[in-house]
Amino acid sequence: MPGVPARKGSPPARAAGRAKVRGVAQDSLTIAELLARCGVEDPLSVAQARTALDAVKLTNPNRDRVSVGKLERIRDALHAQFFLHCPSAACQAMAAGRTGLVVRKDACTACGGSNTRRAVQDALEACARAGIRKICVVGGSPAVREELQRMVGAQIRLTLVEGTQTPSLMQARAHVRGHDLVVILGASELNHKLSNTYEAHKADGHILTVSKRGVESIAEGLAHHARQRAGR
């Protein structure tokens, strides 16, 4: 009837209540769900992560839910306190003394689910220990050189020499003497007169020949060489 106020619990009031409940559900997750978004699903890892997050007060030990808005802060906290690695033994070995936390492959700091990325990360760490900071790469397709440059980033100064160019004794000598290592990609687009020109200067520095194709193989050969130089 006109002028009669809606009773408590009427359909409009109940609908508003349901919308509020739905809003809360959308703005929060269980801690297990949020950790799964960070790649943490193994039960032991979940318990380990939860203890660490409780300690820095990003989660409450008496509550099972957390705001979705804390996702990035929680992800940053996990990376600060742990080395996140997949179950792979090779990735676990890269923890290098840090406390490890087992995560899904796509969240792995070492490989991100990619064997190539894991191999490159392994090579970068081995080179850092061996003091290899400047590398000249001779040969390789444009795609390989581009991928290598992108994956190495600024951690190593790369000089990339197109394998089909005319050899120069002066350039080869300067590259061998001016870099910590020259890597010759033997199974690639390579003028063998060019590779021979670099090989002729072995006495002037360190030269590594990689006979397999692909960035993963290059990284594996580089890591092996670096470990030998570092005496490991």
Q: 86 CB contacts (<8 Å, ≥6 apart)?
A: 102, 103, 104, 105, 107, 108, 110, 111, 113
Q: Give the residue among 190, 160, 192 at the shortest CA–CA distance from 175.
A: 160
Q: Is the pLDDT of residue 1 over 70?
A: no
Radius of gyration of the chain (CA): 27
Q: Give the residue among 69, 107, 71 at the shortest CA–CA distance from 91.
A: 107
- The matching CATH number, chosen from 3.90.1150.10, 3.20.20.110, 3.40.50.300, 3.40.50.11230, for 122-230 is 3.40.50.11230
Predicted local confidence at residue 92, as pLDDT: 87
Q: What is the DSSP letter of 207?
A: E
Q: For residues 115 and 109, give the distance between their C-alpha atoms in angstroms, rounded to a whole number.
A: 12
Q: Write the DSSP string, 128-192.
A: HHHT--EEEEE---HHHHHHHHHHHTTSSEEEEE-TTSPP-HHHHHHHHHHSSEEEEETTSS--H
Range in 25-29, 122-126, 189-193, 214-218 with the lowest mean pLDDT = 25-29
Domain boundaries, the chain: 27-107, 122-230
Q: Is the pLDDT of residue 34 over 90?
A: yes
The answer to whether 40 touches 49, Cβ cutoff 8 Å, is: yes
Q: For residues 196 and 49, give the distance between their C-alpha atoms in angstroms, rounded to a whole number.
A: 54
Predicted local confidence at residue 33, as pLDDT: 94
**What is the CA 231 to chain-centroid distance, rounded?**
26
Q: What is the pLDDT of residues 61-107, one digit of tens each?
A: 999 999 999 999 999 999 999 999 999 888 888 887 889 999 999 99
Its pTM stands at: 0.65
Q: For residues 199 and 159, give the distance between their C-alpha atoms in angstroms, rounded to a whole number.
A: 17
Tokens coding 55: 């300690």
166 or 15, greater pLDDT: 166
Q: 164 CB contacts (<8 Å, ≥6 apart)?
A: 189, 190, 191, 194
Q: What is the pLDDT of residues 178-205, one digit of tens each?
A: 999 999 998 787 888 899 999 888 887 8
H helices of the chain, in order, are 11-27, 31-37, 43-55, 71-81, 89-92, 115-130, 142-152, 169-178, 192-199, 215-230
The answer to whether 125 touches 96, Cβ cutoff 8 Å, is: yes
Predicted local confidence at residue 24, as pLDDT: 47
Predicted local confidence at residue 3, as pLDDT: 54
Mean pLDDT of 125-145: 92
Predicted local confidence at residue 35, as pLDDT: 96
Predicted local confidence at residue 11, as pLDDT: 52
Q: What is the chain's mean pLDDT, rounded?
A: 86
In the structure, what pLDDT confidence band is assigned to residue 53 with cuts at 50, 70 and 90?
very high
Tokens coding 92: 């676990």
Burial code (b: 16+ CB inside 10 Å, e: under 16) for 8-37 equals eeeeeeeeeeeeeeeeeeeebbebeebbbe
